Amino acid sequence: MTDSQETFLFFGVGGMGMAPLAGWMAEAGYSICGYDAHLQERVRYWLDGAGVRLEDFIFPEQVSAFTTLVYSSAVAPEHPVLVAAREAGLQLLRRGEMLAELARDRRLIAIVGSHGKTTTSGMIAHGIQREGIPCNYILGGLFADGSTPPWRFEAATPWLVAEIDESDGTIEGFSPDTTVLLNIDWDHADHYATPRELEGAFLGLMDRTGASVVLPENCPLRPSTAVAVAQFTGAADRLALHAPALGRFNQLNGDAAAAVLGRFRTQLQADLLTGFPGMARRQARLYTSPGLTIIEDYAHHPTEIDALLECLRANKPEKRLMVVFQPHRFSRTRQFKAAFAQSLGAADSVFLLPVYPAHESGSVGTAMRDLAAEFSETAPVVLTFDRTGMQALAEAVELASQTSGVQVAFVGAGDIEEFATAFTALMETRRERPADLPLVRAAWRRYLETRLSPDCLVKFDEPLANKTTMRIGGAARFYAEPANLSDLLVLLRAARLFNLPVFHMGRGSNLLVSDGGFDGLVVRFSAGAWRRVESLDGGRIWAGAGGRLKEICGFAAKQGLSGFEFLEGIPGAVGGALRMNAGAMGSWMFDLVERVQLLDEFGVFHDLPKEAFHFGYRKVEEISRGIALGAILKGADSEAEASIRGRIDSYSTTRKESQPRGASAGCIFKNPEGSYAGKLIDELGIKGMAVGGAEVSAVHGNFIVNQGGATAADVIELVRRVRAKVKAETGYILEPEVLLVGQSWEDVLAE
């Protein structure tokens, strides 16, 4: 048990190495808080159950609440949270370093090697469960059936089985009781420049091993210290495997697992591993029918691909083998491009997805061209990572199915599992031809089934009029209310995969929905996580994208923070206010902004200071292309609440006297340079002009009010008439300020 004063922040807790470690530590009694912008729902489930406190957002200002920050090696050293943690004097540990700290007080059985660590560790864990062996384990992946968590905490025993990663050099911090070396294959060229350097890392671990080393037969490495050495071959097949775990590698993995389990039981049941469910993303069977089998596998090294394709050929020799491969990292793609082409050449046809870069930078186009050029015979087909790519693959699969059975294997360690799952959903719905839902809707829903949290709302053909302040408009073909950031990322990924346009919606002010609705996905930030408002140090406030500006104004007043008063008169939410640099009473949203957390147009998370944005009148360039998740706001000064309330009341009175109370979207036109839209409309006597139920307000000329039963077509026509009159009589061209959803102002005003 750790010191009760120690608190740990796991940054990147959703990673397959990080989550089991965090879960184990939480069950062991450590105080664990976790954050991950890409937390999968299946991982959230296990972490919640272990007592890990999960945060949807984390800020550099909050790190001082912890004593240790544990982070994934994929996190850049210059990340603001890591920088703040270093400056605050926290202990910073990579995942492997944290595991090494825990292992010092235990009898560690280290599972290492270039391939098969997760599967072998999973086999050992499965055997521990079945035999009731008192032993801890911390895995690096999930069980395929989701039946048990990928860790076990046993307080009464010192034994710990864990897979040790060599990729980032943290292997050097371990001194195990027992080392199990599965194999050696040069990889991770970004860290090990030569094969000899990688061999040196494994040799060093063996030399630091206290009791025994377990090696494959004919392994060229041997420890230089006096430890017991045992061998495994895979040929003995000491523990029977069931179908999902077949293959040359898995026979070796099974024999290695038997060697470890034999340390605890002299007699093992021969069928001990027959119920092993396999590990997620390892020969995972996604779909099976008489003519089509779809699997997904984590293989990302030529040796792994060779073993996988050999196994698939042996299992289904009568079926045509089609492989979809996603290279993982630019460095690995450059290092093995010729070997990849040779290995993949064993398939009947090959399709390539764009390189998954991980934390590396490079040119995807160049990498794909260089890899494709290495194929000596039939050139691979390069697919786009979306519905267009899925449909092209589906057509190829269905064409091949006409003459033979087909096996489709999705291979790679990046996000290919998302493409594979979406493709499987598309193929299932293509074959089922459901009468109740169009094809894309059915596939989209099926893809999302296990990925969203239970609190995420998903609907089809959802009316939008009652979600806007103007009470006008049609329905969203796809509609969702994400409960957290993970839900949002899943929804955006699904939209990209299925080529759906996306519109992000807060309180529905400053927008007009077309009568035809929106033929894409509307994401509404109405859940509690998005409305979160909290105080930070130094007179700052965090405000989520769905937070009402009026409520933030009141919150700031209670904190004695001035400068927020103008927000009282803006009916929208934070996300829209950031996107448009909303303003009132001579002040603007970006007057308050210190930093903004956002997703860019590619779905990449950023935490950026005010200086990184190009903001002006009614537009912030970077946010208009992405999604603002929330912002850290800082007021002008500290002041007595009563004084602040007095200004709020004054602004409220002014607003009520100068703005209509009917249903509107706020100011309909931008102010033209050198004048004011409302003033021009007033001077020209346009107030009261109406089309259907839409009327130019008699109170403020720059408002169009829905007097009851107005349609978007009514508003658009009224906008046309007002613009025409203003232009004809003053020369000013009024541009709409209100967003038009489902159509574009450029198109409708050109008609």
Q: Is residue 79 part of a domain?
A: yes
- How many domains does the structure of the chain reveal? 6
Instruction: Return the CATH number at 720.
Output: 3.90.78.10
Task: Examine the pLDDT at 243 and tell me if it is beyond 50.
Answer: no
Q: Is residue 654 part of a domain?
A: no
Q: Is residue 443 part of a domain?
A: no
Question: Do 407 and 314 share a structural domain?
Answer: yes
Q: How far apart are CA 254 and CA 123, in angstroms?
A: 7
Instruction: Return the CATH number at 497.
Output: 3.30.43.10
**Inter-residue contact 105 to 130 (CB < 8 Å):** no
Question: Do 63 and 20 share a structural domain?
Answer: yes
In 3D space, the residue among 278, 316, 307, 532 whose CA is nearest the CA of residue 405 turns out to be 316
Q: Is residue 158 part of a domain?
A: yes
Report the pLDDT averaged over residues 374-395. Answer: 88
SS (H, E, C) 404-422: CCEEEEEECCCCHHHHHHH
* Listed residues 528, 553, 571: the one ending a domain: 528
Q: Is residue 206 part of a domain?
A: yes
* Listed residues 381, 403, 432: the one ending a domain: 432
Question: Do 553 and 496 share a structural domain?
Answer: no
First to last CA, the chain: 72
Question: Do 228 and 115 share a structural domain?
Answer: yes
Could you tell me which residues come within 8 angstroms of residue 198 by beta carbon, excluding any fewer than 6 positions away? 114, 166, 184, 186, 187, 188, 192
Buried b (16+ CB within 10 A) or exposed e, 179-193: bbbbbbebbbbbebe
- pLDDT category, 580, cuts 50, 70, 90? confident
Question: Do 425 and 304 share a structural domain?
Answer: yes
Question: Do 153 and 254 share a structural domain?
Answer: yes
- pLDDT category, 434, cuts 50, 70, 90? low
Question: Do 212 and 142 share a structural domain?
Answer: yes
Q: How far apart are CA 530 and CA 485, in angstroms?
A: 9
- In terms of Cβ atoms closer than 10 Å to its own Cβ (0-12, 13-18, 19+), residue 206 is buried
Q: Is residue 267 part of a domain?
A: no
Question: Do 720 and 641 share a structural domain?
Answer: no
Structure tokens at 496: 């990209």
Instruction: Return the CATH number at 404.
Output: 3.90.190.20
**Inter-residue contact 314 to 321 (CB < 8 Å):** no
> Radius of gyration of the chain from Cα atoms?
30
Question: Do 293 and 423 share a structural domain?
Answer: yes
Question: Do 230 and 196 share a structural domain?
Answer: yes
- pLDDT category, 440, cuts 50, 70, 90? confident
Q: Is residue 716 part of a domain?
A: yes
Range of the domain at 76: 7-94
pLDDT tens by residue, 327-350: 988 888 888 889 899 899 889 999
Task: Examine the pLDDT at 145 and tell me if it is beyond 90.
Answer: no
Q: How far apart are CA 682 and CA 385, in angstroms?
A: 52
In this prediction, what percent of the chain has a pLDDT beyond 90?
39
415, β-bridge pairs: none
Alpha-carbon separation of residue 220 from 215, 216, 235, 256, 609 (angstroms): 10, 9, 19, 17, 53
Instruction: Return the CATH number at 590.
Output: 3.30.465.10
Phi, psi of 515, rounded to the nearest 5 degrees: -65, -30
pLDDT higher at 94 or 616 = 94
Instruction: Return the CATH number at 85.
Output: 3.40.50.720
Token look-up 């076990």 returns: 152
pLDDT of residue 244: 44
User: Beta strands 518-524 and 533-536: pairing type?
Assistant: unpaired
pLDDT of residue 643: 84
Task: Examine the pLDDT at 246 and tell me if it is beyond 70.
Answer: no
Question: Do 292 and 253 share a structural domain?
Answer: no
* Listed residues 211, 246, 261: the one ending a domain: 261
Q: How far apart are CA 368 and CA 381, in angstroms?
A: 11
Task: Examine the pLDDT at 3 and tell me if it is beyond 60.
Answer: no
- pLDDT category, 245, cuts 50, 70, 90? very low
Helix, strand, coil % in the chain, rounded to nearest 5: 35, 25, 40
Q: How far apart are CA 57 and CA 631, in angstroms?
A: 11
**Inter-residue contact 551 to 574 (CB < 8 Å):** no
Alpha-carbon separation of residue 282 from 39, 107, 122, 356, 634 (angstroms): 20, 28, 11, 18, 49
Instruction: Return the CATH number at 149.
Output: 3.40.1190.10
pLDDT tens by residue, 165-201: 887 778 898 999 999 998 787 766 666 668 788 888 8
Q: Is residue 398 part of a domain?
A: yes
Question: Do 304 and 391 share a structural domain?
Answer: yes
